[in-house]
Amino acid sequence: KSSGQSTIILSSDNGQKDLTKCIQTQIHRYNMFVETLRNAADFDKEDVSQNKAHHNCRRFFKIKSRRPEVTSIIKNAFSDSLLSSWSADLDGSSQLWNLQWTWGLPKASDFEHLLVFQKVSRFRGTRGLTRKDLLKKNIQRFALVFSAPAAGLDEKSNDSFNIMPLTYALPHEYNSFVSGYSSIQKLCGVKSMNYWIIKPIGMSRG
């Protein structure tokens, strides 16, 4: 450790070289982050030591979305007194943030270059849960795989996947939907209301 900078030294093995480079990058970005905080708070070295508790609790969020309503919602959420230690990213193009709230799914490389103190609001590999048609398909698939006869589970365990109302993915399940709709209508009676909810598979519509 020299002049406030940390140095990591490992052996010359290729894998350890990559690890060394990664760690040194993390340290370099972190030192930039701390320096930015010092400048933003107008701290000199004495101020930083005297206000260490306040200095260490500062966090920054970044919003990556072209939708003004998304930006407004996130900023309003962070304006809550319980989140007073959070501030908007000082420079929208910088990488010195703790949390990035993004509308679209980041590239794989964006995840690979995250620093140790950074989190993103999206996760890779969740498409099968966040798209409604794939969620239906996956729940039905797991219910079949882990059914009581196949997995040796009791009926109570088998009911664990009975968590979704009767659902059809259109248009390829249109005929099944018409048949199910008609069956329910017959059971309920002609005068009964037979309401169904229609949702797009994506578009963040609940």
**C-alpha dihedral (41, 100, 111, 141), degrees to nearest 10:** 150
Q: How confident is the model at residue 175 (pLDDT cuts 50, 70, 90)?
A: very high
| Bridge partner list, 62 | 100
What are the start-end ranges of the H helices in 41-80?
A: 45-50, 52-56, 68-78
**What backbone phi and psi angles, to 5 degrees, belong to 87?**
-135, 160
pLDDT of 30 reads 73
Sheet-wide strand order for 99-102: 86-88, 59-64, 99-102, 119-120
CA-based max dimension of the chain = 82
Provide the percentage of residues in the chain whose pLDDT is more than 90: 8
Q: What is the pTM of this model?
A: 0.54
Asked if residue 161 has pLDDT above 90, the reply is no
Using one digit for the tens of pLDDT, what is the confidence trace for 114-145?
887 888 988 888 888 888 889 899 988 888 87
Question: What is the structure's pLDDT at 176?
Answer: 94
For the segment 39-52, what is each residue's pLDDT rounded down to a tens digit? Answer: 655 544 444 444 44
The CA-atom distances, in angstroms, between 177 and each of 122, 136, 138, 168, 194 are 33, 14, 19, 6, 13
- Of 54 and 149, the structure prediction assigns the larger pLDDT to 149
Whole-number Å distance between alpha carbons of 114 and 154: 44
